[in-house]
Structure 1
Amino acid sequence: MGGAVENSDVDSETALLVGAATADKIPSDPFNLTYITYFFLGVGCLLPWNIFITAVDYFSYIYPETRVDRIFAVANLLVALIGLVFVVLYSHKSVARVRINVGMVIFTVALLLVPVLDLSYIRGRVGLYNGFHVTVGSIVLCGAGDALVQGSVVGCAGELPERYMQAAVSGFGAAGVLVAVMRIVTKAIYPQDAHGLRQSANLYFAVGICIMILCIVLYNLAAMLPVVKHFESIKNQEKEEHGGRLFGSMDKSTLWDIINRVKIYATGLVLINVVTLSIFPGFITEDVHSEIFKDWYSTLLITGYNVFDLIGKYLSSVYVIENPKTAFSGCIGRLVFYPLFLGCLHGPEFLRSEVPVIVLTYLLGLTNGYLTAVNLILAPKAVAFEYAEKTGVILVLFSFSGLAIGSVVAWFWVI
């Protein structure tokens, strides 16, 4: 372990020297095309998952005897978590571009299955639970896509200047906002009955498929952009300097050294995601109700959460907490949401009204967005350049660990 740390220290110093030497040579980003590309990559990472959970009105109507969002969360996250373990162990034997392309194609197929299932089998009938099993299979596919795409995108962004990581995490937040707006629009343009619900869901998934195809096209065009080519050239130079040793390869000591260097950020991501997913979306969509907003309540809460999550991620482009201990304290502080949301279920009457639930949901989104962005921006810069991509995958693995734990904790609201 001692040798690994020493080697990593040397590599980190080399990376800093390379960065300093090339900082003034980084090409301009004409029309912000690289920034826009990484923004859409961030959108593509989370779009499928957000599409499924925001269509809870449709799935809950078709499958009324199921805890839709909670089952979706467990199925998606366990598969993603297992897949990410394999990506961490074997990513040096594959190419990020291939992983991202394959993962996005898997996303597209998963989204396509829902309207095809509705048109060919469900046809608006309620309680056909064989269809629910196929839908859960689509969620499993999304989990596999998450394992391939999200860690690779964070890793690739970690090799670039910080603004491109900020673009990617802003895309994560924008995915939720975009999906919520899509759901509101597609829901509003059709009659508010069973047939209209079915039509709106099919249109909603069709729009999502088109956006995923756009993300695939943009990503494959990104290789021609000056900024991407510049840092790819740096990577190739470092590969040559490593000679016969496989660039970015990791033995156990190196892996543990990387984890040790980013452990405060990784632990922060775990805490953020445990708190968030144990409350959102299950609590928001299934446990609180409104006589005023009726079945629009969950849609409005999800939309507000996603808007404030995006605002939080955008704030990271204005100010980033540089002190990791301060950022970590913020992650711990979010535990206060548990007693507050518990009060919204079982507390005094004023806490159980719409206003406290809405305010707390929006604050949950704001803090989730900002603290996630801070941890993802700072962590890849704590390791040598050659391990930036691997670090991104490791961070996403910890993130999904938190999400998986949170998806289990979410069931305690039911108990």
Structure 2
Amino acid sequence: MEAKEEATVSLLHHTTPTNNGDDVITNHDSFNLAYIIYLILGTGMLLPWNAFITAVDYFNYLYPDRSIDRIFAVVYQSVSLLCLLLIVFCFRKFHAYVRINIGLGLFLIALLVVPLMDWFYIRGQSGLYDGFYVTIGVVGLSGVANALVQGSIIGSAAELPERYMQAVVSGTSASGVLVSLMRIFTKAVYPQGSNDGLRNSAILYFIVAILFMVICFILFNVVSRLPVIKHHNSKLRNEPELIQEELPLSASIWETIQKIRWYGFGITLVYIVALSIFPGSVTEDVHSTALGDWYAILLITCYNVFDLIGKSLTAVYLLKNANIALGASFTRLLFYPLYLGCLHGPQFFRTEIPVISLTSLLGFTTGYFASVLMILTPKMVQLQHSETAGILVVVFLILGLAIGSIFSWFWVI
């Protein structure tokens, strides 16, 4: 484990106060506007992924003999991981502002394809598998966009005071809650006894998601012009640490990996456990006669709400000892035997209340301990490596998601 002294020094670098009157003014986040925008951007960068997996009822109707969420997860996370590694080792000097704008544009294209394809080709018909392959393609395109947007936003937030990283991380959970509420609302608007009702609700759902991504595009191009963000970026450019001679890119990356590797592994493990169970096993392997196809949506909503509660809790109480969070990431392996009990155990454990309770606990622990590790890890390196550490945090995160999405198939076996 790396020394706490480096984390303390780095935290001081990020939050050093100033006595200059102008600095006090520019350092003030008026109306918490920058914080709110980073929260919305955190929501937006995972909204397309959540939009695809939460429309499981619609895609299961169109393609009834495909394991939708498991296939989506493998494609999305694998593509994201590959593209993120290319960014880290080959294109990191490509300006983050450009990467994020390109990524947001790709998100919009991916989301647009689904309603357009339904209007002009599928027209609510089940079993048109050309549409399935196109959907898989746009899920992969969203994976590319995610690597561009998520890596860059978290990397830039790592250079700012920790409240902005907390905003981004909380936003990623708010994304799941928002999408779940969107799906519940759009599903409730139309009668679900007919295929037309399911189709129309799904189209409305994707239109709302598209409008939200347009808002994110506008807000991202506003936030860099706010005085508080200009102030912090100016301080970074003038830090003596950043003026010194830099290491070669590859040496800088490997040096940073050495310092954060254990905490990065903790992030990976948190998401291996989470994604090997959710959404695949939660949405496809447990069933409710009483709730029907609402059951999967209810479970996704419970997970997302408690994931948001866990990540938001770090704004009130942030566990400063990352070693405890690392230990908790290993303890969460106990979810595997508990979920086996829900699938193959006594009848009581297979009923709605135990499954909903366990899914909520999975969401809460994922949210809190992942948030703690993601906030503290970039502060454990020197200031000039904080952006690299932030991007590497996303690499560890997506590595966990990719491995977890593959492990989710073992429930089927």
Q: TM-score, normalised by structure 1?
A: 0.93
Gaps of 5+ in 2: none
Shift of residue 44, structure 1, vs aligned partner: 1.0
Residues 361-380 of structure 1 correspond to what in structure 2 (within 5 A)? 361-380=359-378
| 18-27 or 341-350, which deviates more | 18-27
CA distance in structure 2 between the aligned counterparts of 1:320 and 1:14, rounded to whole angstroms: 17
Shift of residue 261, structure 1, vs aligned partner: 1.3
- What letter corresponds to residue 207 of structure 1 in structure 2? V
Question: Cα gap change, 1:382/1:22 in structure 2, threshold over 3 Å: closer, same or farther?
Answer: farther
Tell me which residue corresponds to 1:197.
198
- SS of 1:79's equivalent in the other structure is helix
Shift of residue 392, structure 1, vs aligned partner: 1.1
- What letter corresponds to residue 209 of structure 1 in structure 2? I
* Cα-Cα RMSD: 2.1
1:160/1:231 contact within 8 Å kept: yes
1:87/1:393 contact within 8 Å kept: no
- What letter corresponds to residue 289 of structure 1 in structure 2? H
CA distance in structure 2 between the aligned counterparts of 1:225 and 1:54, rounded to whole angstroms: 34
- Deviation digits for residues 102-126 of structure 1 (CA, Å, limit 9, x no counterpart): 1111111100000011011100111
1:12/1:385 contact within 8 Å kept: no
- What letter corresponds to residue 296 of structure 1 in structure 2? W
CA distance in structure 1 between the aligned counterparts of 2:258 and 2:242, rounded to whole angstroms: 26
- What letter corresponds to residue 199 of structure 1 in structure 2? N
Tell me which residue corresponds to 1:343.
341
2:89/2:250 contact within 8 Å kept: no
2:232 aligned with 1:231, yes or no? yes
2:108/2:210 contact within 8 Å kept: yes
Tell me which residue corresponds to 2:311.
313
Tell me which residue corresponds to 1:132.
132
- Deviation digits for residues 28-61 of structure 1 (CA, Å, limit 9, x no counterpart): 1111100001001100110000000000000000
Tell me which residue corresponds to 2:165.
165
- Deviation digits for residues 295-342 of structure 1 (CA, Å, limit 9, x no counterpart): 100000101110000000010111111112111111111101000000
Q: How many percent identity over aligned positions?
A: 52
Tell me which residue corresponds to 1:20.
16
| 221-230 or 231-240, which deviates more | 231-240
Tell me which residue corresponds to 1:383.
381
- What letter corresponds to residue 360 of structure 2 in structure 1? Y
| 172-181 or 149-158, which deviates more | 149-158
- What letter corresponds to residue 206 of structure 2 in structure 1? F
2:241/2:384 contact within 8 Å kept: no
- Deviation digits for residues 242-279 of structure 1 (CA, Å, limit 9, x no counterpart): 27x56xx6433322221121112201111011000000
Tell me which residue corresponds to 2:99.
99
Tell me which residue corresponds to 1:257.
255
Question: Cα gap change, 1:13/1:314 in structure 2, threshold over 3 Å: closer, same or farther?
Answer: closer
- What letter corresponds to residue 201 of structure 1 in structure 2? A
Q: TM-score, normalised by structure 2?
A: 0.94
- Deviation digits for residues 182-215 of structure 1 (CA, Å, limit 9, x no counterpart): 0000000101121100000000000000000101
2:412 aligned with 1:408, yes or no? no
Tell me which residue corresponds to 2:174.
174
CA distance in structure 2 between the aligned counterparts of 1:18 and 1:184, rounded to whole angstroms: 41
2:13/2:383 contact within 8 Å kept: no
Tell me which residue corresponds to 1:286.
284
1:91/1:390 contact within 8 Å kept: no
Question: Cα gap change, 1:17/1:331 in structure 2, threshold over 3 Å: closer, same or farther?
Answer: closer
- Deviation digits for residues 51-104 of structure 1 (CA, Å, limit 9, x no counterpart): 000000000000111000000001101110100101111344211111111111
1:48/1:107 contact within 8 Å kept: yes
Aligned pair count? 405
Tell me which residue corresponds to 2:78.
78
CA distance in structure 2 between the aligned counterparts of 1:23 and 1:375, rounded to whole angstroms: 32
Shift of residue 16, structure 1, vs aligned partner: 4.2
Shift of residue 11, structure 1, vs aligned partner: 12
Shift of residue 13, structure 1, vs aligned partner: 5.7
Shift of residue 237, structure 1, vs aligned partner: 1.9
Shift of residue 14, structure 1, vs aligned partner: 8.2
CA distance in structure 2 between the aligned counterparts of 1:387 and 1:12, rounded to whole angstroms: 15
- SS of 2:284's equivalent in the other structure is helix
2:242/2:384 contact within 8 Å kept: no
